[in-house]
Amino acid sequence: MTFPEVKMSLDELRALQIRRLRDTLRQAYEGQAPYRAKCQAADVHPDDFRELKDLARFPFTSKADLRDAYPFGMLAIPREQCVRLHASSGTTGRPTVVGYSARDINTWSDLMARSLHAGGARPGDIIHNAFGYGLFTGGLGAHYGAERLGCTVVPMSGGFSERQVQLIREFGARVVLMTPSYMLAIADEFERQGIDPRSTAMRVGLFGAEPWTEGMRAEIERRLGVDAVDLYGLSEVMGPGVACEFIETKDGPTIWEDHFYPEIVDPASGTSVPDGEPGELVFTTLTKEAMPVIRYRTRDLTRLMPGSASVMRRMAKITGRSDDMLIVRGVNLFPSQVEEQILRDPALSGHYVIELTRTGALDDLLVRVEARAVLASDAAGRSAAELGQRLKGMCGLSATIDVAGPGMIERSMGKARRVIDRRPKA
């Protein structure tokens, strides 16, 4: 299977984007009453779109817009023509529902196959898919792409770590798919069973669904002997496979720009910022039929970089979401910044949790992190003191550091929960 689109010229790509944007804007305007109302309020019409810079005149779509349209108000086609629904977890209220036509599932399978190929999977490989199957887009999205690429897919889903290790070994998976935090839990399980992951056929992992740092990549590669590749996506825009790294370069996910038009905006003002500048990633879908989204605010913070393996642009590794940002004693702090400092110490693992409490008016920051192996108490004390100093140096905050023994911090089998905020709500 080849992917010639990846090699199209920049002129071809921009012409295709303009054509597809024009169609998508019209389709959203005609098919999605809530978006039409937003356009009318902003006094803009799809006919006003002539060139790429005109897109900035169109209103954004936010997660709240999708929630308000719950469950089916954002479908641009009759519900009967949807072959599948997915939904976000909805931990903070109503879930967000996304619908797919048969053509959408087909496009998604193609893009996920393209992502897997970029990430190093090849037809004939056994792919162990530990992304959760169900309403979450990770499991089924990756599954269809693996089949499309011509791989043998093991639909494992998350959980049952002992079984995960057994099947990775016995079936001979060359490629594994899961969240990076779960991969670390699987590394622990290999260790517990006394099995060297390098003795298995596993060579490549595509990881995503949560932020992870370069330190985490190095940790996974070191412990498991795989190439760790970054796979990005979000359900509102499609699911996994919106962007993916190339295994040869591992220099940030290439956005499949023939299907998703990216912009970066200032998260506070919504003003567009030029390529290279940091801000919030915004996507307009170019080929979705059941539920196109125009200028969807992802809340993911990154910047756009020029293409390397393709003319399509790359995004810098996402290190946080605007809604992940903690404000601790007035200082802005992302969990990934803490992760980076933890993983500088070879004695500490990537299993960690940040706990926030308040005494009187003051926030208390506690970082609980696991040692890789059982440490003597003076070594644990040294790691704790040094991590405290590095954090203080990085953001000026004093934190209490608790270095726990191996296995003491709860594992997640999907997206890791990094923050426990016990501060009273304002």
Positions in the binding site for ligand DLL (CB under 6 A): 88, 131, 136-138, 208-211, 230-235, 239-240, 298, 300, 318, 321
Angle made by CA atoms 98, 282, 239, in degrees to the nearest 5: 35
Find the shortest distance in angstroms from Cβ 36 to ligand DLL: 25
Tell me whether residue 49 or residue 136 sits nearer to ligand DLL (CB atom): 136
* Structure token pair of residue 184: 């670390």
Tell me whether residue 69 or residue 375 sits nearer to ligand DLL (CB atom): 69
Beta pairing class for 239-244 and 326-328: unpaired
Find the shortest distance in angstroms from Cβ 207 to ligand DLL: 7
In whole angstroms, what is the distance from residue 207 CA to residue 229 CA? 6
Q: Name the phi and psi angles at 234, rounded to 5.
A: -150, 145
Tell me whether residue 24 or residue 88 sits nearer to ligand DLL (CB atom): 88
* Structure token pair of residue 116: 């897997």
Find the shortest distance in angstroms from Cβ 1 to ligand DLL: 20
Tell me whether residue 240 or residue 262 sits nearer to ligand DLL (CB atom): 240
Judge whether 173 and 163 are in contact, CB under 8 Å: no
SS3 33: helix
Tell me whether residue 39 or residue 231 sits nearer to ligand DLL (CB atom): 231
**DSSP-derived secondary structure for 153-174:** EE---S--HHHHHHHHHHHT-S
Find the shortest distance in angstroms from Cβ 131 to ligand DLL: 5
Instruction: Report the residue number whose CB is nearest to ligand DLL.
Output: 208
Find the shortest distance in angstroms from Cβ 60 to ligand DLL: 15
In whole angstroms, what is the distance from residue 82 CA to residue 71 CA? 13
Judge whether 370 and 409 are in contact, CB under 8 Å: yes
Find the shortest distance in angstroms from Cβ 304 to ligand DLL: 15
SS3 423: coil
Tell me whether residue 27 or residue 319 sits nearer to ligand DLL (CB atom): 319
Find the shortest distance in angstroms from Cβ 318 to ligand DLL: 4
Tell me whether residue 29 or residue 334 sits nearer to ligand DLL (CB atom): 334
Angle made by CA atoms 358, 332, 335, in degrees to the nearest 5: 85
Find the shortest distance in angstroms from Cβ 234 to ligand DLL: 4
In whole angstroms, what is the distance from residue 50 CA to residue 19 CA? 9
Tell me whether residue 254 or residue 298 sits nearer to ligand DLL (CB atom): 298
In whole angstroms, what is the distance from residue 106 CA to residue 96 CA? 22
Evaluated on CA atoms 73, 78, 80, 86, the torsion sign reads: negative
